[in-house]
Chains A and B, each alone.
Chain A
Amino acid sequence: MPTPDLVIAARDVRLTLGAPPVEILRGVDLDVHAGESVALLGASGSGKSSLMAVLSGLERATGGRVRVGGQEFGALDEDALAVARRGRIGIVLQAFHLLPTMTARENVAVPMELAGMADAWPRAEAELAAVGLGHRLDHYPAQLSGGEQQRVAIARALAPGPSIVFADEPTGNLDAATGARIIDLLFERRAASGASLVIITHDPQLAERCDRVARMVDGRLA
C-alpha cells in the first residue's frame, strides 16, 4: 500500500498506442514523496515524456495503476482528469505552449480561474513578479523572448500552489545561459512552494540537483 506522504504511486504502468500498437511503457513502478524532486533521465524514445503524460493525467495508462494526490487516475475519464489537475498539478513544457491570444497575466491566471480561485489575477501578478516579469504583465507571448515565455510558463504552473510540478525538458528550447537561469528559477520557486517536482532532462548535471534520479530505458525504469 502507498504511504500517506506519497504524492505519486505508479505500479506496473503500461501504455500502448497506435495501430499497429506500439508498447511505449512496459511496466513502470515509481513513487514520488511529498516535497521530493525526481529527475527522469533517458534517451530519446525511451518513454520519459509518455510517463510524464500518464503521471500528470494527460494520457491514460492502458495498464497498471496510477495514484496521484490520493486519486486513482485509472478510474477517471478525460474530463475528470482535467478537473483533477486543477490547482494540484503544474506542468511546464519544452515548447512553452502559452496561449498566444492571451497576455502573460491572463496566461498565468487561467488555471486559477478554472479552479475557481477568486484571487486569480492578484496571484498571477504576484507570481509573475516573483519570476521577474512584473513589468511584462500585459505582453503577449509573441512579444516575449523564449526565456521570458518559459518564465511565464513556470509562473503559470506554480501560481495555483500545486502539490506537484512536472517539467518536460524545460530548457530544451533555450540557450545554455538562459536555460541555467530558468532552472534556478524553477528550483527556487518550487522550494518556496514546497511542491514535489518531476523533471525530464537529458542533462546529468541538472539531474544531480534533484533528490533522486530515475533512468528510463526502453519503456522501463532501470
Chain B
Amino acid sequence: MTSWPLVFRLARRELSGRFRGLRLLLVCLVLGVGALAAIGSLASAIGQELNARGRVLLGGDLELSVSQRTADAAELAAMRAIGRVSETIRMQSMAVAGDRTAPVQLKAIDGAYPLYGELTLADGRQVRAPRDEEAWIGEALSDRLGLKAGDRLRLGTATFRVGGVIGDEPDRLSEGFTLGPVVLVSSRGLARTGLIQPGSLYETKYRIAAPGRDPAAAAQGFARRFETAGWETRTRDRASPGASRFVERMGEFLALVALAALVIAGIGIGGGVSSYLEQRRGSIAMLKVLGATSGLVTRIYLTQVALVAGAGIALGLAIGVAATPLIGLAAGAVLPVAPGFTLQPLPLALAAAYGLLIALALCIPALIAAGRVPAAALLRGALDPRGGIGRTGAGLIAACAAAILGLTLWSSHQPLFAAGFLGAAAATFLLLVGLGAAIRAVAARLPRPRRPLPRMALATLHRPGARTVSLVVALGLGLTLFVLLAAIRTSLDGNIRRSVPERAPALFALDVPPDREVEFRRTVAAVSPGAEIAAVPLMRGTITGYRDVRVADLATIPEGAWALRGERGLTFSATLPAGSTLVQGRWWTAAEGRRALVSVDERLAAALDLKIGDPLTVSVLGLERTATIASFRRIAWDTLGFNFVLVFSPGALGDVPHNLAATIDMPAARAPAVNRALLGRFPSTSVIEVGGVLSQVQTVVRLMATAIAAAAGVAVLAGVAVLVGAIAAARAARRYDATILKVLGATRGQVLALQALEYVALSVATGLVALALGLAGAWYVVTQMFRFEWLPDWGTVLATLIVGAVATIAIGLLGSVPVLRARPASALRAL
C-alpha cells in the first residue's frame, strides 16, 4: 500500500497550477453547483421568512372565516374563549373619484386590528382603523385615481375622505389574489356604504391572538363545534399557503432543472476528465514503468479530480450565495418576500453534495481506465485499457447514484415526481449512449462510398478511438435542451395569448340585486345597445358532505377534488348553462326543478366516485342544504363566462338570499361609459373590466415563463460547455487527420467539408431524437406540472433546433481553423 502523502505529492506535481486540462470540470461544477445553491438558498430563505412571519402575515395565531355573514353570538363567544378577537370584512367594490372609477378590495377593520404587526401609512405613521368617514387607500389606487390625503372618494353610497396612503398592510400576503388595490375603512364606515345587503358577496375573517395555545387544536375544536356552518380555518404556520406552495413548487421545479443542469454538466465533467487522462496516457504508462500500481495511478488522478472539484464546488457555492439577493431583487414583485444576503446551510450542503457525487460518479470510469493503462502503452500507443470498470467501479458508481437518488427523495416535497425526473434524465442519457453506439455500428456496416471524402467521414464515425458516442451524448443533450426550452417557452406564450378569448366579455358585474335585473339590463342597453348580458344567481358555499362521507372527516382530500377545499361559487338554474354539455343523467324539467337537485362537474364526480342519485350537501350562509345528483356536466373552462362546478335546481337554493353576477359582452371601448352609468344607479354593484384582470393573470404567467427560462438557461449553458468540451476532446484526432490530409494534397476546403460531413451526419441523427425527447419533456412540464395547455409554436421549436445544430457544427469547424491555417510541415511537428 502506497502512502497517501506520496499520492498527494505526485498528484500535486502532476497538476498544472492553472488546472490546464481540467478546466471543463471546473466550469461545469461552478455552473451546476452555483445554480443549485442559488435556487435552493432562495427558496429556503423565502420559506423561512414566511414561517417566521406567519402570525403577522395571518394577522393572528389562527383565522376563522365565513362567507356572506358575520359570526352569531354563540360563535363569537367560542372565539373569545380562545383569545383576543379582531373582525375584518372583505368584499369587491368600486371606488369613484369624480368621473374616474376603479375596482377595489374593500376591507373593513375593527379597533383591534392588527393583532400582530403594524399598519403603517406611506408617511410613516403607525395607525389603526380609520375614523368612520375616513379611508386608508392602497398606493395603486392613489396612483390610478390621482388621490392624495384629504381628497374624497365614494364607496357604495357613502363618501370618504382619504386619510392616508397605506405603506404596509401587515396581513396583505395572506389575503391572496385580489382584484384591485385595497381600501381600509372602519366597521361602521362599511355600514355607511350600504354595500352589505342580504345576498351580498363578502367574506368575514376573525383573527384570534392566542399566544399560549396550540392554534391548530383550537381551530379544530371550533370547526367541529360549528361543523355545518361553513367555517374555514387557517393557522399561523399556514399563513399564506398559496405563496408557500408557489415558492415550494416553483423552487422545487427550478431545483430539479438545476439538478438536470448539473447532471448535464456531469457528463461534461466525465468527458473533460476522460480527455485529460487520455492526454496523460504517456505519463501514466511511464509511472507504471517506474513501478506505480493501478491503484496508485487511480488514487493520484482521483486526488487531482477531487482538488479541482473542491475548488469548483467552493466557487459555485460562493457564486450561489452572492447571486441569491440579486435574484431576489430581479424577481421582485413575483416573490412574496425578497430575501437579502442569506447563508442557508442545508441548500448549500445539498448543492455541494450533488456536485461531489455527480463529479465522482461520472469520473470513476475514466479514473479506473487510467489505472488500467498498461505500461506497454508506451510502446504501442493505440492499446486500449484492459477490461471494463470492474466490480469496485460499478459498485462505486451505483453507490453514488443511490446517494443522489436518496438525497433527491429526502429533500423533495414531491418525491415521486423527483424520482421520475431523475429516472427520465437517466433514461435520456442511456438512450443517447445507445444511439451513439448504434450510429457507430451502422457506419461500420454501411458500404464504403467510392469518393474519398464521404468515405473518410464515414470512417471517422466508427474507427478505433472514434468519439461518436460522447459527441452524440453531448450533442443530443444540448439539442434536447434547446427543443425543451423552446417548446415550454412558446407553449406558455400560447397560453398567455389563449387567455384572451376571441370573444371575452368586456365587463363583469358582481352584486346586482335580483329584483332590479330588468333595470340593470336597460341601463346597459341604453349606453351600449346590443350588448349581450348573461346574469346568474351567485352565492358562496362549501361542500360539507357527499354520499355518506363528511368532508370534515377526510384525512386527505382525494386527488383532483380541489372543489372540496374552501368555498366555491354556487348557482342555481332552470336551464343547462351555456358552456356546459351533459355527459350523464338529464337536465331537470320545470317540475323536477322544484325538488332539490344538483348537476356536478364530471371531473369532480370522477375524483369523488359520485353516481347519479347520490346526495351532496353544501353549507350556504351557515345552513346546510342537501341535493340529489341529477346529472354530470363537461365544462368548457377556457370560456371566460361563468363556470360552476355545482349548478343546483331552483328548488335547492332558490330561497337563499342572493345577488346576481353578470357578464356584459360588447365592444370594449364602451366599457367605461357603461361602467359610469351602472355606478350611478347601482352603487352597491362592483363592475370589473376584464382587460385588467387578464393582464394580472398574464403577468404571473410571464414571470413564471421568465423563471423557467432563466433556470433552463443555466442548463443550456452547461449543455454548451459539454458540447464545446466534447468537440475539443475529439479535436486531437481531427487535427491529426487534417494535417496528414494536407500533407497528402487535400485543400483546406476539402478538409473542412470532410469534418462538416461528419458533424452534419451526427446532427441529423441526433436532432431527430432530440426533437422527440425535448418535446416529450416539455409536454410533461407544461401539461402535467403546470397544468397549462400544450400550445408549442412548431416553427420556433424547429428553428431553435436547426439553429442549435448549425451553431454546434460551426463551433466544431471553428476549432479546426488553426490547424487548417498552419503549413503542413509546422502542423506535422506539433503532432
Contact = CB atoms under 8 A, between A and B. Distances in A.
Interface of A: 49-50, 53, 56-59, 78-79, 81-83, 85-87, 91, 93, 97-102, 106, 110-111, 113-115, 156
B288 interface: yes
Contacts of A91: 289
Contact of B291 (A50, A98, A99, A114): A114
22 contacts: A53-B376, A56-B289, A58-B289, A59-B379, A78-B294, A78-B372, A79-B295, A81-B375, A82-B293, A82-B375, A85-B291, A97-B285, A97-B286, A98-B286, A99-B287, A100-B283, A101-B14, A111-B291, A113-B6, A113-B9, A113-B10, A114-B287
A81 B375 CA distance: 10
A57 B287 CA distance: 13
A87 B290 CA distance: 9
B291 A101 contact: no
B205 to A, nearest CB: 71
B378 A59 contact: no
A97 B292 contact: no
Contacts of A100: 283
B826 interface: no
A156 B287 CA distance: 12
Contacts of B283: 99-101
Contacts of B287: 99, 110, 114
Contacts of A97: 282, 285-286, 289, 378
Contacts of A110: 10, 287, 290
B290 A156 contact: yes
A83 B13 contact: no
Contacts, number: 78
B511 to A, nearest CB: 81
Contacts of B747: none
A111 B290 contact: yes
Going nearest first, the 4 A-B pairs with the smallest beta carbon separation are A86-B291, A111-B290, A79-B293, A58-B375
Contacts of B291: 82-83, 85-87, 111, 114-115
B15 A78 contact: no
Interface in B1-28: 2, 6, 9-10, 13-16
Contacts of A53: 376, 379
B296 interface: yes
A93 B14 CA distance: 21
Contacts of A58: 289, 374-376, 378-379
A79 B294 contact: yes
A99 B14 contact: yes
A117 B15 CA distance: 23
A115 B293 CA distance: 11
Contacts of B16: 101
Interface of B: 2, 6, 9-10, 13-16, 282-283, 285-296, 372, 374-376, 378-379, 386
A127 B292 CA distance: 21
Given A58-B379, A100-B283, A106 B289 contact: no
Contact of A114 (B13, B296, B372): B296
A98 B376 CA distance: 15
A110 B13 CA distance: 11
A160 to B, nearest CB: 9
Contacts of A85: 289-291
Contacts of B293: 79, 82-83
A101 B290 contact: no
B13 A106 contact: yes
A215 to B, nearest CB: 20
Nearest to B289: A91
A31 B295 CA distance: 33
Contacts of B289: 56, 58, 85, 91, 97
A164 B242 CA distance: 79
Q: Which of A50, A99, A106, A115 has the most CB of B within 10 A?
A: A99
A49 B6 contact: no
A49 B379 contact: yes
A82 B13 contact: no
Contacts of A106: 13
Given A78-B386, A85-B289, A98-B286, 6 more contacts: A58-B378, A82-B294, A85-B290, A99-B287, A113-B10, A114-B296
Nearest to B374: A78
Contacts of A79: 293-295
Contacts of B292: 82, 114
Contacts of A115: 291
A6 B283 CA distance: 32
A86 B2 CA distance: 12
A114 B2 contact: yes
A110 B289 CA distance: 11
Contacts of A101: 13-16, 283
B13 A102 contact: yes
Q: Which of A57, A59, A83, A101 has the most CB of B within 10 A?
A: A101
Nearest to B15: A101
B277 to A, nearest CB: 13
A97 B381 CA distance: 13
A169 B294 CA distance: 27
Q: Which of B286, B288, B293 has the most CB of A within 10 A?
A: B286
Nearest to A95: B378
Nearest to A166: B289
Contacts of B375: 57-59, 78, 81-82
A93 B378 contact: yes
A220 B312 CA distance: 55
Contacts of A78: 288, 294, 372, 374-375, 386
Nearest to A80: B293
Contacts of A98: 286
A169 B777 CA distance: 60
Contacts of A156: 290
Nearest to B288: A82
A65 B295 CA distance: 27
Nearest to A115: B291
A50 B16 CA distance: 34
Nearest to A103: B13
B286 A99 contact: yes
Q: Which of B16, B289, B296, B374 has the most CB of A within 10 A?
A: B289
